[in-house]
Amino acid sequence: MPDILSKENKFDPVLVTELFDKVKGKSSLAALCDQTPIAFNGQKEYIFTMDDEADLVGENGKKTRGSVALAPVTIVPVKLEYGSRISDEFLYASEEAQIDILRNFSDGFAKKVARALDIMAFHGVNPRAKTASTLIGTNHFDNGVTVIKQDSTSPKTPDALIEEAIAAVQDNEYDISGLTMAPSFRSDLAKMVDTSGRKIYPDLAWGNAPTSMNGIQTVTNNTVSFNSSKDLAIVGDFARAFKWGYSKEIPLSIIPYGDPDNSGQDLKGYNQVYIRAEAYIGWGILDKSAFAVIQSAAK
Instruction: State the pTM of this model.
Output: 0.85
Output the DSSP codes for 254-287: EE-SS-TT-SS--TGGGTEEEEEEEEEEEEEES-
pLDDT band at 106 (very low <50, low <70, confident <90, very high): confident
Can you give the pLDDT at residue 18? 67
Domains located in the chain, CATH noted: 9-49+71-295 (3.30.2320.10)
**How far does Cα 133 stand from its chain's mean position?**
15
| Residue 96 confidence (pLDDT) above 70 | yes
| Residue 6 confidence (pLDDT) above 50 | no
Residues in contact with 158: Cβ distance below 8 Å, sequence separation at least 6, in sequence order: 185, 188, 189, 192
pLDDT band at 63 (very low <50, low <70, confident <90, very high): low
| Residue 15 confidence (pLDDT) above 80 | no
| Residue 88 confidence (pLDDT) above 80 | yes
Q: Which residues of 18-55 are buried (b: 16+ CB within 10 A; e: fewer)?
A: bbbebbbebbbbbbbbebeebeeeebeeeeeeeeeeee
Can you give the pLDDT at residue 2? 39
Half-sphere exposure of 50 (CA within 13 A, CB side): 7
61/104: higher pLDDT: 104
Mean per-residue pLDDT, 49-55 = 66
Q: Which of 12-26, 217-231, 245-259 has the lowest mean pLDDT?
A: 12-26
Residue closest to 277 by CA, chosen among 105, 82, 110 = 82
Mean per-residue pLDDT, 17-38 = 80
pLDDT band at 7 (very low <50, low <70, confident <90, very high): very low
Q: What separation in angstroms does the CA of 277 have from each of 46, 145, 238?
A: 32, 33, 28
